[in-house]
Amino acid sequence: MTIGIETPGKIIAVHLNYPSRAAQRGRTPAQPSYFFKPASSLAPTGSTIERPAGTELLAFEGEIAIVIGAPAKRVSPEDGWAHVARVTAANDFGLYDLRAADKGSNVRNKGGDGYTPIGPVAIPTDGIGEDAWRVRTWVNGELVQDDTSDTLLFPFGRLVADLSQHLTLETGDVILTGTPAGSSVVLPGDVVEVEVDAPDAPGSPTTGRLVTTVTQGETPFGDFGAKPNVDDLQRIEAWGSEAEHANAVAAGRATPLEGAPDGPLSTEIREQLSGVAVATVSAALRKRGYVDIFIDGVHPNHEDDRILGTAKTLRFIPFRPDLFQSYGGGFNAQKRAFDTVNPGEILVVEARGVRDTGTVGDVLALRAQVRGAAGIVTDGGVRDFAAVQEFDIPVFSQGAHPSVLGRRHVPWETDVTIGCGGAAVQPGDIIFGDHDGVIVIPPHLLAEVAAEAAAQERADAWIAEQVAQGAPVDGLFPMNAEWRARYEAETTAEPDTSATP
């Protein structure tokens, strides 16, 4: 491995730099941001990287690494590239299971031994411009990343200039310049290869392929430090998108989301809730202190619609021209949400209760239906309301409005905690709705609430029968001890099996 000196004094990595990656993440930074990687994380081509015991989300990031040739202190962006002597390939491995442990410093999730393979050859930059480079990554022989430096949000010279404002970049220092779209999770036995080249330069110089093989670790983390912690959001980010994660699940390479069909919404729970009213479930939640679980102000586009599914969230922020210019076009957060919703999920949209603008129209509603979404809930308006009403997918909203995106909202981010109709909604929460309204059920309460609500619904049906036969409601609704004894005697005589599959 040739990188200018045997061990660089500093290894600095950029968080987000490729537009393709920024689009995946749903945010485009105005300025670059960085973190350090330890020299002990360096590894040559042909090395192995261990996925620690008890973890699942080790991800690769193929990158172009630039090596400082002449020290840089307070240089300009125009002069920054002149301080780069060589370019090579790098792989910025990260363990998403430990992302929460360091709150952005990445010490543990990106600083492990072997987490920065680099090489095998460093290409001299003489006569080659900063926009002439290409990075490609293969996993088990399949090309998964392919991008070029002329697309960067922050060109190499600007990175050098920015960093040199704060610290002296010394000969041999290495800067990892960001990864493009396509970064994903690798499993033990997988082989990852990264190559950087300058295909249009004389001789088409190349680093050759930087090869790393993933192995399985056997030693668990001790109790004297942060333990691995994974949730659905980490899984989605690590795999790149919900669609990629779903494909990995189908291929047997990934753990299903907790909100997936084999997660909290089991067949038994769906059966229990099939004949239960939202009002009954809300009463069970109220007993447990959950009183602000109503998504207020929304109504179904079909009279008899019911929805039950796990939440996928989309957040709009108030309109501002400069932000809309940066976030409103292209494959924005709104399009990503509708293009990646999974079967059984319900798209929940935070529109801040603004009803005088559309937040979903016929094309996006149709896309959600085709992808198998269980419904859409927005505390804003619906465009093309009549057309959307013709679709099968249930849509709960504040009603019709003809405006297009860009009047009151900027599509901002997906898969985050939002506020919709006065209720907090997290990805994976259970969304349950009927003509009375829509409520949010925390997943950890789902089983007990569903069982209690199903039992209460049966009791309410029995009470209604007694009232229909002339019984007064005093003492019956709610049931006193006498009525309760009569109810239990009658219902246990012929066991009710409606709550079992």
Binding-site residue positions: 361-364, 383-384
CA 364 – CA 297 distance, rounded (Å): 22
CA atoms within 13 A on the CB side of 92: 27
Instruction: Report how far residue 439's alpha carbon sits from residue 298's, in angstroms, rounded to the nearest whole number.
Output: 11
Q: Is the dihedral of CA 298, 303, 308, 309 positive or negative?
A: negative
**What phi and psi values does residue 162 have, to the nearest 5 degrees?**
-65, -50
Which residues line the annotated binding site for Mg(2+)? 384
Q: Are 360 and 337 in contact (CB under 8 A)?
A: no
The answer to whether residues 335 and 363 touch, using CB atoms and an 8 Å cutoff, is no
**CB-based contact 24:236 (threshold 8 Å):** no
CA–CA separation, 181 and 281 (whole Å): 42
Q: Residue 419's closest CA among 307, 294, 265, 334?
A: 294
314 touches 334 (CB < 8 A): yes
The residue with tokens 């949000």 is 153
How far is residue 355's CA from residue 75's CA, in Å, rounded to a whole number? 51
Residue stretches of the annotated binding site for substrate: 361-364, 383
Burial-class residue 38 by CB neighbours within 10 Å (0-12, 13-18, 19+): middle
Give the separation between CA 5 and CA 96, rounded to whole angstroms.
Answer: 31
Dist CA 218 CA 480 (whole Å): 60
What single string gives the DSSP state of each residue in 128-153?
Answer: --TT--EEEEEETTEEEEEEEGGG-S
Which burial class, exposed, middle or buried, applies to 404 when counting CB atoms under 10 A from its CB (0-12, 13-18, 19+)?
exposed
What is the distance between the alpha carbons of residues 210 and 116, in angstroms, rounded to a whole number? Answer: 11
Rounded to the nearest angstrom, the gap between the alpha carbon of residue 108 and the centroid of all alpha carbons in its chain is 21
